[in-house]
Amino acid sequence: MEDYRTLLAGLLAGILGWLDPIAGDVFAMIYVFGMNFIAGYLSGRICFNEDFDIKKAFRCIIEAAIFFVVVVSIYLVGKLKDNPDGAVQCVSTVVYVVIYFYTTNILKNVRKFLKTGTPAYKVVDFLYFLLSFEIIKKIPVLGDYLEEYKEREQKVP
């Protein structure tokens, strides 16, 4: 049994060492997914008096796992193509997109359980407004893509 633990620890250390160039991105995603989980739980608990729902929690974990697999796969393909710098840049872009959308969702959930009109509510509401509507419009190209995406999403039943 001890040999299996040693083998597992060695494999894990090797994988983590190989992923070191994107470690900051991975930890940023862990943090954002954790905050999203907590904000969603608190929103459900405070606003709707919901108990902990294992299905919702499992869905949150599965969604996070999908993004981790995507990010690691992008890095793997970049390394296999002998372009690790391009892979790190691509991973960084994907992580920034994940952070943007999940931060918007976190702010939306936090807004639900804050008392309207309080300073905390106003700050969160303003940040939500900025992130969800205004800031992205100011970013060339990306703002166009987001607007196109929103229009497409409204057409989909």
Nearest CA-CA partner of 146 in 157, 135, 155, 125: 135
C-alpha angle 37-101-98 in degrees, rounded to nearest 5: 85
Q: Is residue 72 scored above 80 in pLDDT?
A: yes
Tokens standing for residue 49:
């008096």
Q: Is residue 78 scored above 80 in pLDDT?
A: yes
- For range 120-142, the mean pLDDT: 79
Nearest CA-CA partner of 64 in 93, 101, 89: 101
Whole-number pLDDT of residue 135: 66
Q: What percentage of the chain has pLDDT greater than the value 90?
A: 49
Summarize pLDDT for 6-57 with one digit per residue, the tens. Answer: 989 999 888 888 888 999 999 999 999 999 999 989 888 888 788 888 888 8
Q: Tell me the domain boundaries of the chain.
A: 25-155
Whole-number pLDDT of residue 149: 76
pTM: 0.77
Mean pLDDT of the chain: 87
- For range 88-99, the mean pLDDT: 92
Higher pLDDT, 144 or 116: 116
C-alpha distances (whole Å) from 74 to each of 21, 62, 77 are 13, 18, 5
Tokens standing for residue 12:
């894990």
